[in-house]
């Protein structure tokens, strides 16, 4: 922050304290106070030693961001091209545009980073301290905040803010952006309408959550969707949606709400569609049990390929306890999951669906049989000629995937 902006910020704070107002309490209130102080400062600077303002409008934005937003990070949060922001240290502030990271010229202080984190957590009900050195939270705009503090980190706080694109709302947007082909998008839409259980796999930043949201745009408007996540990430526009997130334990170690608990509670809420933002641990068992009860669902998982995702989903439920073994899990995964969609991000930052599998529902030894319906060929996602073998859900919905999967001659 420039010296002039800092002087104006302090003057606004003094006025706000004297007037006893809350800048968050009224629309445009902060802008009104800042504009008045900028005008007064400019008039006074003409006849004094105060530094002149070269850009009054820019100074106003900077001061407003400092008072009501997230200070030096606010311009990056407002920039639709910025996908992610992370702070490795006060002088190491990075952003990613189109998947490509870059070091910014933003310079903070130790106390400045600490103040930003406290301000971000102020409305979330979550905390970060020595007893809880990690925190996941959702910012007011839907971005996901993750913070780690020393001595877990070596010296500085590690702050990561993951923004979520609101430009991608449906499968057509993914087709337009080159992430899907028209044929694969139409097939996935058919799968959603048929109530297929869909597993989305990929690495971090591969676009799993974006694809999940786009798929859910195809759900019929009469269906009730219940979503459960570690922190809120999905932003759905469907008319009947209930979104739930986990809760950290209190200072006394009580009140924690886990993903496993949320999945169980979701089943009592009359869901027509159950969505789990991501499975990482034993909650995968509760998801499989829910899907095995006949409720259509979707979830995402970190994996290197679609087949690796199936192997991982067969392994994670074993974390639920000694009484769970692979003889139960593997047939359940084979029976419950219908479609696996794998996402990747290349070195240029482009996110694409690279593989779509359809499970047959049977095991060959310990291997779940699956047909590859779409794969990447010469940089394009193309149909392989294979068809799903389980057609009951499609037939019950009056749909025929063979029409869509017929290869172009």
Residues 280 and 397 in one domain: yes
Residues 210 and 249 in one domain: yes
Answer whether residue 408 shows pLDDT above 60.
Answer: no
- Its domain, for residue 389, covers 171-405
Residue 349 φ/ψ region, left for φ over 0, alpha for ψ in the -120 to 50 degree band, beta for the rest:
left
Residue-wise pLDDT for 32-89, tens only, equals: 888 888 888 888 888 777 877 888 888 888 787 777 778 789 889 889 899 999 999 9
Q: How far is CA 102 from CA 92, 98, 117, 272, 404, in A?
A: 10, 11, 21, 43, 41
- Report which of 291, 314, 331, 303 is spatially closest to residue 196, judged by C-alpha positions: 291
Q: What is the pLDDT of residue 407?
A: 58
Residues 105 and 31 in one domain: no
Residues 138 and 219 in one domain: no
* CATH number assigned to the domain comprising residue 311: 3.40.50.300
- Residue 409's pLDDT band, with cuts at 50, 70 and 90, is very low
Residue-wise pLDDT for 105-148, tens only, equals: 999 999 989 988 988 888 787 888 888 899 998 888 888 999 99
Give the position of tokens 């004297």: 18
Residue-wise pLDDT for 230-256, tens only, equals: 999 898 988 999 999 998 887 777 889
Give the position of tokens 């996602």: 381
Residues 344 and 375 in one domain: yes
Residues 206 and 279 in one domain: yes
Residue-wise pLDDT for 359-372, tens only, equals: 999 999 889 999 99
Residue-wise pLDDT for 203-237, tens only, equals: 988 999 999 999 999 999 999 999 999 999 898 98
How many domains, in total, are found in the chain? 3
User: pTM above the 0.85 mark?
Assistant: no
């Amino acid at each position: 922050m420039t010296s002039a902006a800092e002087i104006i910020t302090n003057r606004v704070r003094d006025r706000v304290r004297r007037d006893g107002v809350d800048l968050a309490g009224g629309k445009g209130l902060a802008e009104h106070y800042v504009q008045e102080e900028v005008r007064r400062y400019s008039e006074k600077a003409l006849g004094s030693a105060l530094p002149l303002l070269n850009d009054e409008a820019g100074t106003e934005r900077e001061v407003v961001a400092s008072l009501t937003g997230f200070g030096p990070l606010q311009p990056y949060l407002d920039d639709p091209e910025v996908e992610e922001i992370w702070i490795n240290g006060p002088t190491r502030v990075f952003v990613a545009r189109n998947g490509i990271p870059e070091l910014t010229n933003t310079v903070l202080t130790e106390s400045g980073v600490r103040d930003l984190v406290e301000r971000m957590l102020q409305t979330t009900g979550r905390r970060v301290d020595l007893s809880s050195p990690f925190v996941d939270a959702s910012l007011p705009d839907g971005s996901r905040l993750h913070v780690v503090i020393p001595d877990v980190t070596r010296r500085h706080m590690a702050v990561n803010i993951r923004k979520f694109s609101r430009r991608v709302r449906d499968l057509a947007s993914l087709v337009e952006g080159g992430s899907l082909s028209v044929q694969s998008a139409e097939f996935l839409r058919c799968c959603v309408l048929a109530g297929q259980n869909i597993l989305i796999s990929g690495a971090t930043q591969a676009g799993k959550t974006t694809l999940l949201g786009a798929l859910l745009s195809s759900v019929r408007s009469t269906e009730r969707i219940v979503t459960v996540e570690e922190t809120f990430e999905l932003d759905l526009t469907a008319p009947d949606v209930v979104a739930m997130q986990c809760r950290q334990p209190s200072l006394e170690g009580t009140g924690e709400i886990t993903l496993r608990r949320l999945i169980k509670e979701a089943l009592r809420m009359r869901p027509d569609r159950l969505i789990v933002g991501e499975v990482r641990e034993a909650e995968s068992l509760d998801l499989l049990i829910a899907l095995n009860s006949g409720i259509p669902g979707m979830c995402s998982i970190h994996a290197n390929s679609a087949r690796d995702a199936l192997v991982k989903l067969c392994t994670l439920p074993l974390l639920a306890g000694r009484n769970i073994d692979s003889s139960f899990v593997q047939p359940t995964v084979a029976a419950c999951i219908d479609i696996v969609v794998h996402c990747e991000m290349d070195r240029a930052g482009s996110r694409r669906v690279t593989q779509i599998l359809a499970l047959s529902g049977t095991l060959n030894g310990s291997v779940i049989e699956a047909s590859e319906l779409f794969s990447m060929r010469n940089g394009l996602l193309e149909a392989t000629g294979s068809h799903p073998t389980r057609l009951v859900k499609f037939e019950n919905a009056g749909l025929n995937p063979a029409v869509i999967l017929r290869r172009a001659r």
